[in-house]
């Protein structure tokens, strides 16, 4: 018998709960203090029932948790309408309880939306806001409002999580919500990744309920990825959990149910039957009816697929008795049930109705640009095609299905051919326009040095030059300018036709930058400018780039800054890592450029009509070459104003 005194005040109760580690003992303490609740204030009473519901959920007492949170909400809203932390917490906790009771019931989304609205009004705790944002992202997708609205909320939650100090439980909750969203979108690899992150956080926290749920979830998403051996390893862990934590009575049901589903996915009907039947023996310990119903439905389908029609009919009868009037969770059960009732025409109509519904869903998903969800619908259609119904039913369904697919495929390819022809014409016109523009620009660029050359040669012929050697040097300099322009044009032309050769190799970035630092610094200092390099890169950062081309980019950008920066001035090179992207910037001091020039500065032969114009020489193609090389590395480059007063060039390059 637990030896714990009743709490005379709510503050005392909270203090004792804080030092009580076991959820079972926490619930006992709360129940033993129930007689004192009538002496609490209205807000403290609401807080009391909120704590009761939270502990009940942690112990898997889902229905009781919903009841407790509802009572807390009624007490609080009857007392005050002012948004509060407690109000947001009650909404959020009740939504979790409703979801755990029946994941297919979207009513929990109403509470989640209310919780988010309150949190946004409070704006005083980013950790709670991140958790509620992740929950709302899942709700938006679950209620068929699509990923377009859900993904931004999830990204906002992830950003807050990265920049704020969250508890292990809060981090795990956000990861879990992300996994649920990606799982529903059939992006199994991302769902599995977030499942593992949530599992590790809850293992570190010691949250056994979270561990149990995540073990089931990693099995599901490993199976969806086709990684069946990996799924079995997680199943073994789930069975071990059920053995070690017997107080979580539904864990063994979950293990049997997931084992049955894994065998079912692999088409091992007899093995799936074995585990679904074992799950039936444990159903009294499972307090989530939706899973019990799904287990019965999958068991009936597995018997049917194994040609055990008598057993399938028996399970269908039990299903009707236990869940009268409930809509089917597994759509295949509709056709099998009507067939078992000898309603062949109704079974045929049901199958066609399912096909029509799946086609409509597929059109909706394609319209939303969600290819992963469309693939999931295809998978459901393939499962429906595999039903071992009578011969006439199979032929009717297959003929209708293949006619629709054939017509759709024909129309699709006709449309693709038309689009391809239009694209080819547009590309040809664009290339011709670019060619004409380039020829005009190059002609203009060559005219100036050639004119100077002609005048210089005529002066030499007429013996008008006092110093012949100086004239020769000037001629040589102009020839170098023309050769530089031709080389730049040749490199850009190679890039345009895809003939630019890059030699990619893997190297350690810090080591390479250190080797270049002395050379680059000397290059800048010789031109009477100061040079600063700021690196915030992790050690042993391996990149896969063309090392020579990257150095060429640095040289071009530094040369550009040296030419157009007033002396004395400053140039700064910075490099940081954000996820898998290297951010590199080269910026200089005044003068700067206009906003219009920022967007045009990478155009070939573009002239800036101010103090940063090309009065100092150069081909005018340096930045265009940098852009082409960055593009070949699958990166991006753009210009902006520098905090130093001049121009800042920003480069983003993927590590690989």
**pLDDT, tens digit, for every residue of 346-391?**
555 555 555 555 555 544 444 443 443 444 344 433 443 443 334 4
pLDDT of residue 598 exceeding 70, the answer is yes
The residue from 62, 90, 124 where one domain ends is: 124
Say what the pTM is.
0.42
Do residue 615 and residue 526 come from a single domain?
yes
pLDDT, greater one: 279 or 343 = 279
pLDDT at 123: 65
Residue 610 carries which DSSP code?
A: S
Task: List the one residue out of 482, 573, 577 whose CA is nearest residue 539.
Answer: 577
Count how many Cα atoms sit within 13 Å of the Cα of residue 129 in the half-sphere of its side chain. Answer: 20
Mind listing the pLDDT tens digit for each residue in 145-195? 566 677 777 777 767 766 666 778 877 877 887 787 777 777 788 889 888
Q: Which of 289-303, 416-430, 542-556, 565-579 has the lowest mean pLDDT?
A: 416-430
Q: What is the pLDDT of residues 3-49, one digit of tens each?
A: 344 556 888 888 888 888 888 888 888 888 888 888 888 888 889 99
Look at the chain and report how many structural domains it folds into: 3
Structural domain contains residue 558: yes
Which of 462, 480, 501 marks a domain boundary?
Answer: 501
| Domain encompassing residue 46 | 28-124
For helices 344-367 and 391-461, angle between their N-to-C axes, nearest 10 degrees: 10
Residue 38's H or E segment, with its range, is none
Residue 186, phi-psi category: left (phi > 0), alpha (psi -120 to 50), beta (remainder): left
Question: And the tokens for 601?
Answer: 């500065």
The residue-averaged pLDDT of 305-312 equals 88
Contact status, residue 79 vs residue 46, Cβ threshold 8 Å: yes
Domain contains 41 = yes
Q: Are 290 and 103 in contact (CB under 8 A)?
A: yes
Identify the three-state secondary structure at position 50.
Answer: helix
What pLDDT band is residue 272 in, cutting at 50, 70 and 90? very high
pLDDT value of residue 276: 92
Judge if 493 and 583 occupy the same domain.
no
pLDDT at 366: 44
Residues 524 and 649 in one domain: yes
- Max mean pLDDT range (252-261, 495-504, 523-532): 252-261
d(CA 528, CA 562): 9
Distance between CA atoms of residues 487 and 492, nearest Å: 9
Report pLDDT digits (tens) over 234-267. 999 999 999 999 888 889 999 999 999 999 989 8
Distance from C-alpha of 630 to C-alpha of 624, rounded to nearest angstrom = 10
**CATH at residue 426:** 1.10.287.130
Of 124, 149, 176, the position where a domain reaches its end is: 124
State the average pLDDT for the chain. Answer: 77
Residues 281 and 105: their CA atoms lie apart, in Å, by 25
Q: Does residue 115 share a domain with residue 49? A: yes
Could you give the CA distance from residue 72 to residue 88 in angstroms, rounded to a whole number? 12
- Alpha carbons within 13 A on the beta-carbon side of 447: 6
Which residues, 6 or more positions from 377, have their beta carbon under 8 angstroms from its beta carbon?
358, 361, 362, 365
- Return the minimum-mean-pLDDT range out of 138-142, 414-418, 485-489: 485-489
Question: Domain for residue 567, yes or no?
Answer: yes
Reduce the DSSP state of residue 647 to 3 states and report it.
Answer: strand
Residues 512 and 650 placed together within one structural domain of the fold = yes
Q: Return the higher-pLDDT residue of 259 and 442.
A: 259
pLDDT for 7 equals 53
Domain membership of residue 493 (yes or no) is yes
Same domain, 409 and 442: yes
Q: How far is CA 345 from the centre of its chain?
A: 45
User: Residue 241's pLDDT is what?
Assistant: 92
CA distance 523 to 516: 11
User: Which pLDDT band, with edges at 50, 70 and 90, does 214 fall under?
Assistant: very high
Query: 466 falls in which pLDDT band (50, 70, 90)?
Result: low
Whether residues 517 and 650 fall in one domain: yes
Do the domain assignments include residue 151? no
**Cα–Cα nearest to 29, from 52, 46, 59, 62:** 52
Specify the higher pLDDT residue, 25 or 470. Answer: 25
Q: Flag whether 64 is in a domain.
A: yes
Residues 640 and 527 in one domain: yes
Q: What share of the chain in percent tops pLDDT 90?
A: 11
Other beta carbons less than 10 A from residue 245's beta carbon = 14
What long-range pairs does 391-398 form, CB within 8 A, spacing at least 24?
Answer: 393/339, 393/344, 393/347, 393/348, 393/351, 396/348, 397/348, 397/351, 397/352, 397/355
pLDDT higher than 80, residue 509: yes
593 and 544 inside one domain: yes
Q: Residue 487: its pLDDT value, please?
A: 60
Token duo for residue 503: 């030699």
Q: Are 16 and 7 in contact, with CB atoms under 8 Å apart?
A: yes
CATH of the domain at 596: 3.30.565.10
115-124, 194-203, 559-568: segment of lowest average pLDDT: 115-124
- Domain holding 85: CATH number? 1.25.40.10
113-122 tens-digit pLDDT = 788 788 778 7
Residue 19 belongs to some domain of the structure: no
Q: Are residues 416 and 557 in the same domain?
A: no
Is 316 within a domain?
Answer: no
Question: Helix or strand or coil: residue 306?
Answer: coil
Residues whose CB is less than 8 angstroms from the CB of residue 637 and which lie 6 or more positions away in sequence, other chains included: 602, 626, 627, 630, 649, 650, 651, 652
Burial 577-597 (b: 16+ CB within 10 A, else e): beeeebebbbbbbbbbbeeeb
Are 36 and 76 part of one and the same domain?
yes
Q: How far is CA 509 from the centre of its chain?
A: 27
Residues 56 and 79 in one domain: yes
**226 vs 218: CA distance, rounded Å:** 12
């Amino acid at each position: 018998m637990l030896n714990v005194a009743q709490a005379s005040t709510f503050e005392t109760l909270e203090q004792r709960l804080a030092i009580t580690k076991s959820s079972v003992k926490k619930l006992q303490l709360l129940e033993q203090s129930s007689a004192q609740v009538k002496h609490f204030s209205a807000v403290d009473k609401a807080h009391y029932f909120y704590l009761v519901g939270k502990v009940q959920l942690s112990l898997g007492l889902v229905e009781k948790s919903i009841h407790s949170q509802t009572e807390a909400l009624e007490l609080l809203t009857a007392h005050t309408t002012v948004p509060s932390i407690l109000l947001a917490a009650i909404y959020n906790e009740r939504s979790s309880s409703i979801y755990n009771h029946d994941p297919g019931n979207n009513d929990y989304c109403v509470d989640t939306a209310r919780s988010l609205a309150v949190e946004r009004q409070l704006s005083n705790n980013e950790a709670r806001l991140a958790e509620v944002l992740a929950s709302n992202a899942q709700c938006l997708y679950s209620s068929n409002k699509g990923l377009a609205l859900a993904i931004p909320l999830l990204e906002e939650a992830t950003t807050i999580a990265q920049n704020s100090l969250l508890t292990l439980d809060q981090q795990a909750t956000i990861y879990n919500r992300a996994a649920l969203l990606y799982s529903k979108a059939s992006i199994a690899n991302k769902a599995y990744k977030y499942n593992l992150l949530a599992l590790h956080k809850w293992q570190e926290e010691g949250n056994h309920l979270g561990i149990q749920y995540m073990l089931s979830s990693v099995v599901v998403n490993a199976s969806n990825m086709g990684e069946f051996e990996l799924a079995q390893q997680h199943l073994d862990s789930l069975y071990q959990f059920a053995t070690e934590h017997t107080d979580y009575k539904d864990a063994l049901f979950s293990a049997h149910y997931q084992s049955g589903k894994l065998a079912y996915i692999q088409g091992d009907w007899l093995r799936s039957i074995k585990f679904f039947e074992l799950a039936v023996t444990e159903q009294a310990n499972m307090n989530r009816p939706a899973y019990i119903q799904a287990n019965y439905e999958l068991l009936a389908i597995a018997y049917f697929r194994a040609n055990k029609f008598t057993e399938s009919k028996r399970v269908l009868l039990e299903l009707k008795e236990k869940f009268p009037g409930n809509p089917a969770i597994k759509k295949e059960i509709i056709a099998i049930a009507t067939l078992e009732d000898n309603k062949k025409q109704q079974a045929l109509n049901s199958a066609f109705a399912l096909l029509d519904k799946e086609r409509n869903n597929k059109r909706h998903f394609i319209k939303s640009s969600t290819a992963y969800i469309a693939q999931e619908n295809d998978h459901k259609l393939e499962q429906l095609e595999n039903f071992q119904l009578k011969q006439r039913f199979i032929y009717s369904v297959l003929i209708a299905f293949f006619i629709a697919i054939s017509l759709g495929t024909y129309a699709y390819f006709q449309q693709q051919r038309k689009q391809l022809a239009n694209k080819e014409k547009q590309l040809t016109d664009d290339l011709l326009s670019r060619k004409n523009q380039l020829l005009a620009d190059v002609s203009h660029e060559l005219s100036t040095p050639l004119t100077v050359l002609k005048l210089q040669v005529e002066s030499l012929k007429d013996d008008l030059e006092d110093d012949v050697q100086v004239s020769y040097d000037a001629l040589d300099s102009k020839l170098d300018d023309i050769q530089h322009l031709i080389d730049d044009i040749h490199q850009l032309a190679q890039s345009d036709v895809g003939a630019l050769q890059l030699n990619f190799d893997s190297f350690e970035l810090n080591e390479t930058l250190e080797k270049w630092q002395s050379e680059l610094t000397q290059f800048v200092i010789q031109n009477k400018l100061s040079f600063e390099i700021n690196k915030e890169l992790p050690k042993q950062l391996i990149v896969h780039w063309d090392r020579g081309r990257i150095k060429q980019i640095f040289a071009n950008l530094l040369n550009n800054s040296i030419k157009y920066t007033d002396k004395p001035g400053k140039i700064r090179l910075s490099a940081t890592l954000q996820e898998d992207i290297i951010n590199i910037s080269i910026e200089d001091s005044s003068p700067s450029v206009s906003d219009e020039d920022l967007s045009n500065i990478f155009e070939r032969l573009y002239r800036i009509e101010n103090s940063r114009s090309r009065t100092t020489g150069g081909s005018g193609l340096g930045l265009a070459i940098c852009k082409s090389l960055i593009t070949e590395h699958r990166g991006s480059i753009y210009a902006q104003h520098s905090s130093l007063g001049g121009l800042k060039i920003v480069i983003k390059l993927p590590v690989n």
